[in-house]
């Protein structure tokens, strides 16, 4: 791994752990094991390096979410797969973490990858739900856009509640709740036994 990659990966880790304000150039250099000259050779400073790291993190989250939402099964199965995927709940969301940092929110360049990530996620979930409605898998009265916003809010809110409680249980309870609400919108296939509202949550 070259110096640039080490700098980006180290910044990703530190931003998740400490936030933007708590991540100093010195800490980045120490974590990456490179000299100051390497940082300023590849980036124009802390903000430029942070932008590269935030973009990398957002793209990684998009790939992970899309793999779940593009999987096999019904619309419910695919959204459930996204909700139930393995997460480091007590560390919080690496993208959501950035939205709690005032210096990031006030910087339009740093905020852009966050806005794009959350906008993409809601649109992607809404597309899956709309497909489910059109296929008759979900109730015709379901609002895909509003439901997608609810799913995204439950995930981000669940992270906050879990960190506040120092326990993954609030996150798990929120996921079970939204899955039960979504399961109530599932249109059962003829002669099919009713599906359980949710599956057991995997532990990281």
pLDDT digits (tens, 9 = 90+) for 122-178: 999 999 999 999 999 999 999 999 999 999 999 999 999 999 999 999 999 999 999
Nearest of 29, 23, 22 to residue 3 by alpha carbon: 29
Confirm if 151 and 125 have CB atoms less than 8 A apart: yes
Other beta carbons within 10 angstroms of residue 159's beta carbon come to 23
Contacts with 45 (C-beta within 8 Å, 6 or more apart), sequence order = 25, 39
Is a pLDDT exceeding 70 seen at residue 204?
Answer: no
Q: What is the pLDDT of residue 196?
A: 52
The whole-angstrom distance between residue 44's C-alpha and the CA centroid of its chain comes to 28
What's the rounded Cα separation, in Å, for the pair 181 and 186?
9
pLDDT digits (tens, 9 = 90+) for 20-51: 999 999 999 999 998 888 888 888 888 999 99
Is a pLDDT exceeding 90 seen at residue 120?
Answer: yes
Query: How far lies 78's CA from each of 57, 63, 149, in Å?
Result: 22, 14, 16
Q: pLDDT category, 194, cuts 50, 70, 90? A: very low
The residue ranges of every structural domain in the chain are 58-183
Q: Token digits for 66? A: 């899309």
Q: What is the pLDDT of residue 1?
A: 64
Is a pLDDT exceeding 80 seen at residue 200?
Answer: no
pLDDT digits (tens, 9 = 90+) for 58-106: 999 999 999 999 999 999 999 999 999 999 999 999 999 898 888 898 9
Is a pLDDT exceeding 60 seen at residue 55?
Answer: yes
Is a pLDDT exceeding 90 seen at residue 189?
Answer: no
Return the CATH superfamily for domain 58-183. Tetracycline Repressor, domain 2 (1.10.357.10)
């Amino acid at each position: 791994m070259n110096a640039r990659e080490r700098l980006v990966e180290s910044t990703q880790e530190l931003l998740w752990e400490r936030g933007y304000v708590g991540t100093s150039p010195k800490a980045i250099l120490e974590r990456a094991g490179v000299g100051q000259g390497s940082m300023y050779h590849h980036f124009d400073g802390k903000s430029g390096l942070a932008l590269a790291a935030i973009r990398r993190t957002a793209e990684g989250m998009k790939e992970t979410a899309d793999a779940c939402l593009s999987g096999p099964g019904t619309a419910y199965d695919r959204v459930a797969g996204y909700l139930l995927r393995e997460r480091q709940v007590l560390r919080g969301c690496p993208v959501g973490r950035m939205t709690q940092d005032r210096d990031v929110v006030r910087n339009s360049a740093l905020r852009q990858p966050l806005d794009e990530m959350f906008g993409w996620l809601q649109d992607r979930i809404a597309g899956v739900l709309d497909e489910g409605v059109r296929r008759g898998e979900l109730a015709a009265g379901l609002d895909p856009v509003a439901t997608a916003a609810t799913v995204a809010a439950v995930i981000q809110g669940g992270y906050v509640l879990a960190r506040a409680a120092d326990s993954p249980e609030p996150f798990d309870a929120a996921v079970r709740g939204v899955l039960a609400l979504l399961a109530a919108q599932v249109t059962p296939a003829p002669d099919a036994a009713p599906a359980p509202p949710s599956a057991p949550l995997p532990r990281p």
